[in-house]
Structure formats: structure tokens, C-alpha cells
Chains A and B, each alone.
Chain A
Amino acid sequence: MRRVLIIVFLIVALISAFGFEISAFGGMELGGKNRPYFGARIGTLSGGISLMLEGYYPVSSFEQLEEINIEEIQFIEIDPYIYVGIPLMGTLIYAGAAPIIILDIKNTQFAMYQDIFHVKAGVRFGTGIIFFAEGMVTMNTSFQIFDTYAVSVGVGIGF
């Protein structure tokens, strides 16, 4: 329990030192079932170390996007990313990693994958209104990469 409190304290301290970003994004897997997905993220993405909480909801096809009833969504993926960002000529280049957590909304349960995690790299443009593009892979704890990738683009606001 003490370890959890220390981690939470560190996270809160990190967050309070930076500005915030809220954005929405969409993307697609390259490989596997080629699922499209959409999501949203909130956090402190900026130069140096930062933290983002990201939510993902995959669908089976683009056609299914039109049929989604938000109230019927049961599972979403939540990834708390830790990023390292480098500001470069008005853009931000960033890379980070996150554990994979599944949230069961209807039953208010969380489940965390024990031995795989996401790794991501991206580039962000703009201030105020921001745009970004990024690529993501999944690795196991032996640092083997699965052969399914994902690419996302998004838009949001930074303040």
C-alpha cells in the first residue's frame, strides 16, 4: 500500500508541474483484424516527462461506427502513458509507454494485463488547438513486438 501511495504522490507531483491537453483521436490497426478505433486523452503532454490518460474503443468496421450506442459500450481500454517529449521547431516529438488496462463500465471493474504493454511515438503540432499523429505497438516483458501495429491521428486543445 505504501508503494501505491508513493506512486500516486509522484504522479500528482508530475501532473501539477505541467500544462494540460485534452484531445480526441481515431485510428486503425495495421494487421490482425484491422480494427478501426476511436478514443480520447487527457494529460500533461509537453517537453520532458509527462503523463497522459488515454481511452480507446475499438470497433469491428468503419460501418459499425455509425451504429454505436454509447450506452451499450461495456469495455474500453485505458492506458496511463508516461511520455518523454522533445520540443523541436514548434512541434513536439514524443515517445512513451503504458500498461494496458481494461475497464468494464457496466460492472465497474478494472483488469490490468500483467506482461504486455503499449509503446508509442508521435508528433504534435500547434498551440491552443493541437493536432497529432502517432504510431503504436505492443510489447511483452521480453521486449518482443507483436506484428499488429496501430496508427492514430487526433485533434484537441492545450492549455
Chain B
Amino acid sequence: MRRMLVSILSFFFVLVFLFSCSEIPQAPKVIPLDPTGTTKPFVSDYTAANIYGSVDKQPTLVPIAVPDPVRVRISLPGVENLLSSELRVFEDNREQGFVLYKESSVKNKLDIAIILDVTGSMGYAIDGAKNSIISFANSLESSGLDAKIGVIPFDDYVNPPSDIEVEPGFLNLTSPASAQEYVSSLYAGYGGDWPENPYDAIMFAATALEWRPGAQRIMIVITDAPAHYKGDGTPFVHFIKNEMLPALVGYFVIHGAFVPGYYSESTTDFSDPGDVRELCQKTGGVIKYTDTSGNVDLTGLGIVEYITSSWIVTFESDSPASIHTIEIFYAKGSDKRYLKLQDVTY
């Protein structure tokens, strides 16, 4: 008995030493103390454009008796090298000590779900998506990222959509080449009434795709139509945004490519129940608009740049169980950007 246990323990130790370097996400070790006696910059000196963010809730195991840090993902398109000295982080108006690291330095795996509206008005968008998936994936790979792509076509229904013949009804995360082949089999169907059902498609992607552990999880919604939502009188929709957000915020970043029309570029209030852009906004995603014909160029959306310019800011919350407001100020010369996350839970 003793010999057997000795063997097991010895085996364990050898394994530990052999595998001590891996891609398991770790909590930061030492977060600097919070600065004291500082004042918050004037928000009016900063712009809210070109800075995106959300709290990262992807699971990591924080060791026992180690403070569980808050992780906020921020993206600053156009900023290649970000220094801690260029950022200031406030939780509920109190400045935080933080550790900063580039997300792609610890997560080089990237899983992308393309949520694609396949109704008649999207004919050009599908052609654009077909043409650009490979160049999109190539640009991701040239950034050193290991990318997999899944595709969820939808109209009023998902897996499969009701108005086109497609087999299988969705494409699980796979190689970019396979994704291109699948997308080439898609075409624009009828679609019925004007709104479609991206909410079911997004939740289907969140739960049905085989997302890889440790990968950045991104969805790209491409649509021109407002969303049906639970309670709007249709029988096929199962979600409203407020029910979706707890399952999405912190776990996925949802980018949107919207065809102008219902989705006006001048709109800043996305709270309408059928407006998908609120999901992008609250998950820290980019909201972009296609040309009026709906041509979609995935490489032109700035998503590659978003990914390669994403950082994780980690700090210790003063009260992890409460609801917070997080403010992040970036300043480098005359480039000043400001991000505010409200009603944040960890």
C-alpha cells in the first residue's frame, strides 16, 4: 500500500514539473496598492470614442486565500503599445492600483461566431461575407492568433433557418477554410416580416458552439433588420435583451456590422427592444455600419485591430459583491479617451 502511494505521489510531482508552463489563465499575483489623495480627471477633456470595454468573466480558478481580482477588457484601436502610466482606473470614484497586460499575450486562441441574417434584404451582405471570411481569417492568423470560425445563419428561426435549405443548420467552430466553404452554400431567402430573430441566434451560438477553453470568444452579428423579441406577439422568439445580457456580458464580445436603414448611424440610444446594438455596446463590442448596399468586408470592420489592441486591466475591488461604476481614462499627448461601465457586477 505504502509503495503504491509513494509511486502515485512521485508521479504527481514529475507531472507538475513537466507541465508547470501552460496556457491556463492565472490570476495576477501582486496588484499595486490603490493610489491615495488623487483626483479624477475632468471627463469633458476626454472623448468616449475609440475605446471599448467590458468586465471579463471567463472562468479562471483563483487560488484559495488569494484576492479575486476584477478583470476589465479594454480595446483602444490605434494604440499598439499601452503603458500603465497612460491609464487611470476608477471604481466608484476611487482610483485603483492595477496590473495591465495585453490579452493576446496570454490568449492567442480566438473563436469567432458569425451570426448572419440570411433574409432577402441581405443578399449583398452574404456575398460580402463569403468573399471576406478567408481574408479576415488570414489577417487574424498573420497577427499570430489561432482562429476558428463558426457560422449561425438565421431568419425568424435558427438551426436551421426556415426559408433557405442549408445543411447543416449551423457550422460549429472550425477552420476558416471550412467556414468559407459553408458560407458559400448560403443564400438569401424570403424572411417573412421585416424583423428577424438574431436574439435566438446569439443565444444559440453562446450555448451550442464548442468554444475552446482559454480562447477569446467573439460574435459578429451581420443584419439589416430589427430583432423580434419575446413578448412581441411572435411564437418563435425566446429572449429579451435583459435576459440575455447576464449570459453574455463578460463571456463574449459581440461586434455588429449593420446595414443602414433601421440602424441609423446617428442613433445613440440603443435601448429599443429590437435594437441589437445594445448587446454590442454592453459586451464591449464594436458597432460598425456597412455601405447602403449591405456589402460586408469583415477585414474592414476593424475587428482584427480591436483584437490586437485589447488589454486586460486587473484590480482588486473594494467590495466585490456590490454593483459598481468603473471609469477608465486613457491619455497620451492629445489623444484622450474615456470609458464608463455602469451597473457592473463581478
Contacts and interface: CB of A to CB of B under 8 A. Distances in A.
Interface of A: 4, 7-8, 11-12, 15-16, 20, 27, 29, 31-33, 35, 37, 42-43, 51, 53, 56, 58, 74-78, 80, 100-102, 104, 106-107, 109-116, 118, 136-138, 140, 144, 146-150
B63 interface: yes
Interface stretch (B15-23, B203-211, B216-224, B292-300): B15-23
Given A20-B5, A31-B67, 17 more contacts: A4-B17, A7-B13, A11-B10, A15-B5, A33-B320, A58-B61, A75-B60, A104-B213, A111-B21, A112-B16, A112-B20, A115-B30, A136-B64, A136-B65, A138-B66, A144-B30, A150-B65
A75 B24 contact: yes
Contacts of A7: 13, 17
Contacts of A33: 68, 320-321
A110 B320 contact: no
Contacts of B67: 31-32, 146-148
B251 to A, nearest CB: 15
| Interface residue range, chain B | 20 to 34
Contacts of A138: 63-66
Contact of B65 (A4, A20, A118): A118
Contacts of B22: 104, 109-111
- Consensus secondary structure, chain A interface: strand
Contact of A146 (B10, B19, B20, B65): B65
Closest CB pairs A-B (n = 5):
A75-B61, A111-B24, A110-B19, A109-B22, A112-B20
B6 interface: yes
A28 to B, nearest CB: 10
B66 A148 contact: yes
Given A32-B320, A111-B21, A140-B29, A77 B63 contact: yes
Interface of B: 2, 5-6, 9-10, 12-17, 19-24, 26, 29-30, 59-68, 213, 320-321
A96 B23 CA distance: 28
Given A20-B5, A148-B66, A110 B26 contact: no
A76 B62 CA distance: 9
Residue among B6, B59, B65, B321 facing the most chain A CB atoms (10 A cut-off) = B65
A150 B68 CA distance: 13
A16 B64 contact: no
A43 to B, nearest CB: 7
A43 B9 contact: yes
Contact of A16 (B2, B21, B213): B2
A110 to B, nearest CB: 4
